[in-house]
Amino acid sequence: MAKISESTVSRLSHYYRVLEEVAAEGGKVISSQLLAEREGITSAQVRKDLSYFGSFGRRGLGYSVEHLRAQIRAILGLDRRWRVAVIGAGHIGSALLAYRGFASQGFDIVAVFDVDPARVGHPDGALSVRHVSQLSAEDAIDIGVIATPVRAAQEVADALVAAGVRGLLNFAPRKLRVPDDVWVRTVDMTTEFESLSFALSQPHGPRRRRPAG
């Protein structure tokens, strides 16, 4: 398969969500135009994104909501469940644990780790917090969420990689060094705030994207 851009994958995730909503509203078919409008992009973008993976629509009609949803679900790898570990039982870690939404999407938080003796051994939600040194390949973790202070982030990433984890979601504002076969996504709230600060400091307001065409 040709290389797929990160933007395309992000949009697939958005399409998937829209399709779930439309299905819940009882919609049976949807055009690229309508799908695009919900996301504020162009219909050509929708069709191009989908075309990388196949031809899921019917000319003159549009896409079957159910069929397209199933296809994107398969493309995104959501037909299986993923074992997630959260490292760092602080505010962000606990917020993630408390949020129920991920399990329904196939992401099961199966372990929580920390180094703080005040936290280790105590429950956080349904899980007992384990010391990070106990993390091992036997935990069979697919995705590790790094919710530690920034100084511990690289060390934790190394430990996760050593335990065979191939996907990291990093909340620490630090570039992580990982082997080539490990994927990292970063959520950097400081950068988000600073991007807003930059934008608000400019003399002119933003230009909105062109509406879906």
Among left, alpha and beta (phi > 0; psi -120 to 50; other), residue 65 is: alpha
Q: Single out the residue of 116, 155, 158, 194 in contact with a copy of itself (rule: CB under 8 A).
A: 194
- Residue 175 sits at the vertex; the CA angle it makes with 125 and 97, to the nearest 5 degrees, is 10
128 interface partner picked from DNA, a copy of itself, none, CB below 5 to 8 A per type: none
The verdict on 18 binding DNA (CB under 7 A) reads no
Q: Single out the residue of 2, 6, 54, 55 in contact with a copy of itself (rule: CB under 8 A).
A: 6
CA atoms within 13 A on the CB side of 196: 5
The verdict on 25 binding a copy of itself (CB under 8 A) reads no
44 interface partner picked from a copy of itself, DNA, none, CB below 5 to 8 A per type: DNA
98 interface partner picked from a copy of itself, DNA, none, CB below 5 to 8 A per type: a copy of itself
Give the containing element (helix H, strand E) for 123.
Answer: strand 123-124
- Distance, in Å, from the CA atom of 189 to the CA atom of 173, rounded to the nearest integer, reads 8
The verdict on 169 binding a copy of itself (CB under 8 A) reads yes
Closest to a copy of itself by CB, 103 or 134: 103
- Distance, in Å, from the CA atom of 44 to the CA atom of 55, rounded to the nearest integer, reads 14
Scan residues 52-111 and list those touching DNA (CB under 7 A): 55-63
Closest to a copy of itself by CB, 162 or 196: 196
Residue 160 CB contacts under 8 Å (≥ 6 apart), including other chains: 85, 87, 135, 141, 144, 146, 168
Q: Single out the residue of 7, 133, 134, 195 in contact with DNA (rule: CB under 7 A).
A: 7
67 interface partner picked from a copy of itself, DNA, none, CB below 5 to 8 A per type: none
Specify the stretch interacting with a copy of itself by CB under 8 A; choose among 57-65, 112-120, 129-137, 199-207: 199-207
The verdict on 151 binding a copy of itself (CB under 8 A) reads no
Q: What are phi and psi of 24, to 5 degrees?
A: -65, -30
Do 8 and 183 form a contact (C-beta atoms < 8 A)?
A: no
> Can you read off the two tokens belonging to residue 210?
């062109």
Do 113 and 135 form a contact (C-beta atoms < 8 A)?
A: yes
Helices (H), 78-149: 91-98, 101-104
Specify the stretch interacting with DNA by CB under 7 A; choose among 6-14, 96-104, 111-119, 136-144: 6-14
Closest to a copy of itself by CB, 133 or 140: 140
Closest to a copy of itself by CB, 40 or 121: 40
